Amino acid sequence: MVKEKIRQSTVEDDEAIKKVVNPEGEFEIPIGDGKRKRVFWARTGFSSRAYYRSYFKKRLNEAVSTGLVGIEGHFKGNPEGEVDGKNTIFALNPQSVDEKTLRIYEESTLMKEGDDYNYSPDLRVLFFIKAPTKKLEIEYDYYDPEIYNTIFNDSFIMVLIFLCAREMENHEKRIFSSVEQIGQLTMPEINEIMTLYSETRPFGDLKPNEEKLKNQFTPLRSSEEGVSQKDMDLIPGVEKSGEEKQ
């Protein structure tokens, strides 16, 4: 029987192991005005989804109110998904929905948001409280899909950096004081941060896995939907209680 030789571990091995077992990391990023800083990149979980959603809605409303994005068209038809009495998740296409115009009918009966269904603008799907058994028809106005998606992606990246970039000595303290501060970075600086982020984390794509989020999501009643005070702690201009002001 031939014994295999055991190779002694190296510094490179240790670093490789750290990347696999620890989804968080440390690296140097640009922070504006030509300055750079070494940061601790904290992990965010499913509960952070509300923060991305809140900031995206804020940016979209600003774009609509200033006339930078407008209604592209009106859709009337069926959602994507099988009505079989079991399926509770249906996709919309176009996905750039003007939520206030969204109407959903089960045959001729108008369904009520919060009681019968919820629409998730970040996952771009309808979640029904009870699986529909009759034909669904939907109608809504929709925005220019390209601009809508750009706003969503930019909002996601800015909130991600805001939430994750922390002080090395105090992981509870954020590097940036607001999401707007990140918006002042240049495109090359943003791209560098996201490249460092994607190289450090070992779990694949930039965005959360949508199938995983769908499986974990429990539709909310209308009284529970919306931005709580805890969510507002992360909206620019509102200080988080107990957190050191930067």
| pLDDT tens-digit map of 119-172 | 988 888 999 999 999 999 999 999 999 999 999 999 999 999 999 999 999 999
Residue 186 token pair: 């240049």
pTM: 0.68
- For the stretch 77-133, pLDDT in tens is 999 999 999 999 999 999 999 999 999 999 989 999 999 999 988 888 999 999 999
Structural domain contains residue 154:
yes
Question: In the chain, helix, strand, coil percent, each to 5?
Answer: 35, 20, 45
Same domain? For 167 and 201 the reply is yes
Residue 122: predicted pLDDT:
81
Q: Looking at 143, 162, 184, which one is the last position of a domain? A: 143
Q: Looking at 115, 143, 171, which one is the last position of a domain? A: 143
Same domain? For 46 and 96 the reply is no
Kindly indicate the confidence band of residue 223, based on its pLDDT and cuts at 50, 70 and 90: very low
Same domain? For 171 and 49 the reply is yes
* Other residues' Cβ atoms within 10 Å of the Cβ of residue 174: 23
Residue 4 has pLDDT above 50, yes or no: no
Structural domain contains residue 20:
no
Nearest to 151 by CA among 126, 122, 189: 122
Residue 106 DSSP class: E
Instruction: Describe the crossing of helices 145-164 and 187-200 by its angle, rounded to 10 degrees.
Output: 70
- Domain count within the chain: 2
Q: How much of the chain, in percent, has pLDDT values that exceed 70?
A: 72
